[in-house]
């Protein structure tokens, strides 16, 4: 039974204001309406959003003058979002990347948090060309297990170039070459240190909004 007390309806059994329930219902309706409007806008204007995860192998190498280097195998793992407008797409990513190189002095291991912002040009059947900057932030640097973080700059900028295939079932395959354009050396003993990384990635879409 409901009772009126000071203009507020109370449930005799639960002793809780019904106005709180009505407020929650109204808030839920507004939220659902807002989501529907956003979804309709993306659909009407031919836009699309994908959010997913990705990971794969790194084949990295450092360029250091007068020092012999060879490729080192590592991995990368993270998440991506894709904003697609017709044949064009913008794909920002958040990637943890294990990189480095084999050098005369031993094994050079570096770990970065990378944020690529990739422009994708779609051709046919989901195949696409990729290009864009990548901004890296140093997480760890070691030479044969000894820290060398004081000798390496804390940030890195690369240019990514690649090919990809977005499969209809939500899978994404990428082959990308990240060419370092900034000098990573913070040690007068080395003139320049630039990173070169070739990546093979497998991604999976976990969220989709807009046209397929």
Whether 131 and 119 have beta carbons less than 8 Å apart is answered as yes
- Both 32 and 92 in one domain: the answer is no
In this prediction, residue 10 has a pLDDT band, given cuts at 50, 70 and 90, of: very low
- Both 145 and 75 in one domain: the answer is yes
Q: Is the pLDDT of residue 68 over 80?
A: yes
Q: What is the pLDDT of residues 16-66, one digit of tens each?
A: 445 555 655 666 565 556 555 554 554 445 578 899 999 999 999 988 887
- Both 51 and 33 in one domain: the answer is no
Give the predicted TM-score (pTM) of the model: 0.75
- Both 52 and 37 in one domain: the answer is no
Q: Is the pLDDT of residue 144 over 60?
A: yes
Domain count of the chain? 2
- Both 118 and 59 in one domain: the answer is yes
What pLDDT does residue 14 have? 44
Q: Is the pLDDT of residue 158 over 80?
A: yes
Residue 71 belongs to domain with CATH number: 2.40.160.20
Range of the domain at 23: 2-42
What pLDDT does residue 48 have? 81
What pLDDT does residue 209 have? 80
- Both 75 and 164 in one domain: the answer is yes
- Both 102 and 153 in one domain: the answer is yes
pLDDT-wise least confident of 61-65, 116-120, 159-163: 61-65
């Amino acid at each position: 039974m409901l009772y009126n007390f000071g203009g507020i309806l109370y449930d005799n059994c639960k002793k809780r204001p019904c106005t709180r329930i009505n407020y929650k219902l109204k808030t839920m309706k507004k939220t659902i309406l807002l989501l529907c409007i956003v979804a309709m806008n993306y659909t009407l204007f031919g836009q699309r959003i994908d959010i997913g995860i990705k990971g794969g192998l790194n084949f990295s190498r450092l360029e250091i003058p007068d020092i012999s280097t060879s490729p080192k195998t590592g991995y990368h793992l993270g998440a991506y979002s894709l904003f697609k407008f017709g044949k064009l797409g913008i794909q920002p990513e958040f990637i943890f990347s294990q990189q480095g190189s084999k050098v005369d002095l031993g094994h050079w291991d570096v770990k970065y948090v990378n944020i690529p912002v990739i422009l994708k040009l779609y051709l046919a059947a989901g195949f696409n060309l990729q290009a864009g900057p990548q901004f890296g932030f140093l997480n760890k640097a070691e030479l044969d297990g000894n820290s060398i973080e004081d000798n390496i700059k804390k940030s890195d900028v690369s240019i990514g170039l690649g090919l990809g295939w977005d499969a209809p079932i939500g899978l994404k395959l990428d082959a990308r070459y990240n060419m370092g354009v900034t000098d990573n050396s913070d040690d007068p003993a080395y003139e320049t240190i630039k990173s070169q990384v070739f990546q093979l990635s497998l991604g999976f879409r976990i969220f989709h909004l807009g046209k397929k």
